[in-house]
Amino acid sequence: MISWRDVLNEQDAGFNYHDRVEELAQAKNDTMTLSILLYGFIGVIVLIAFLNIVNTVSTNLILRTKEFTVLKAIGMTQSEVRKMILLEGIFHGLFTAVIGIIIGTALDYGIHDLFSGAWDTAWVIPWYSIAIAFAGAIITTLVATFWPMYRLNKLSIVDALRREN
């Protein structure tokens, strides 16, 4: 079967014809493929970071089981211990959010500065990304405190003091 492109190329041998609709469809397909790869890569990095934070905070709280048990033995109520653990989780979240936002914003500016010769755009502070990172850090550390806190609630004071970590 002879296409219209072959017919045109035979008639006007010195000219090339480009199908703009086909070029736009190919560009759209390439953009979609790149977006899927990029967002997949970012998703894997976020998942690894989330699990790392959960592991670190949970391990820290589990290793301090005796400390929390002693606090309960000398008179702290269960709700006071829970409140202390949640406040510690919020503190960890605030600290990591502030440090991460500072480093992330500096890296964003550095990348913009590197590509400033290729694109002529002004750098703006990424407030939306900062808000997402801040909320993500707080939520992640709070999620990381729930499992150890549940585990601490189930232990009796005597069993927790007797047990080795």
Asked whether residue 56 is domain-assigned, the answer is yes
The whole-model pTM stands at: 0.68
Asked whether residue 5 is domain-assigned, the answer is no
Task: Tell whether the model's pLDDT for residue 12 goes beyond 60.
Answer: no
Asked whether residue 38 is domain-assigned, the answer is no
pLDDT band for position 4 (50/70/90)? low
Are 50 and 139 contacting, i.e. CB atoms less than 8 angstroms apart?
A: no
Asked whether residue 29 is domain-assigned, the answer is no
66-74 mean pLDDT: 83
What is the residue-averaged pLDDT of the chain? Answer: 83
| Domains held by the chain: number | 1
pLDDT digits (tens, 9 = 90+) for 36-49: 999 999 999 989 98
Q: What is the model's pLDDT at position 57?
A: 83
Asked whether residue 41 is domain-assigned, the answer is no
Asked whether residue 26 is domain-assigned, the answer is no
Nearest-angstrom CA–CA distance, 81 and 153 = 9
| Maximum alpha-carbon separation in the chain | 97
**Structural domain harbouring 66:** 46-162
Asked whether residue 64 is domain-assigned, the answer is yes
Query: Which class for 118: exposed (0-12), middle (13-18), buried (19 or more C-beta within 10 A)?
Result: exposed
Asked whether residue 17 is domain-assigned, the answer is no
Task: Tell whether the model's pLDDT for residue 51 goes beyond 60.
Answer: yes
Q: What is the model's pLDDT at position 31?
A: 92
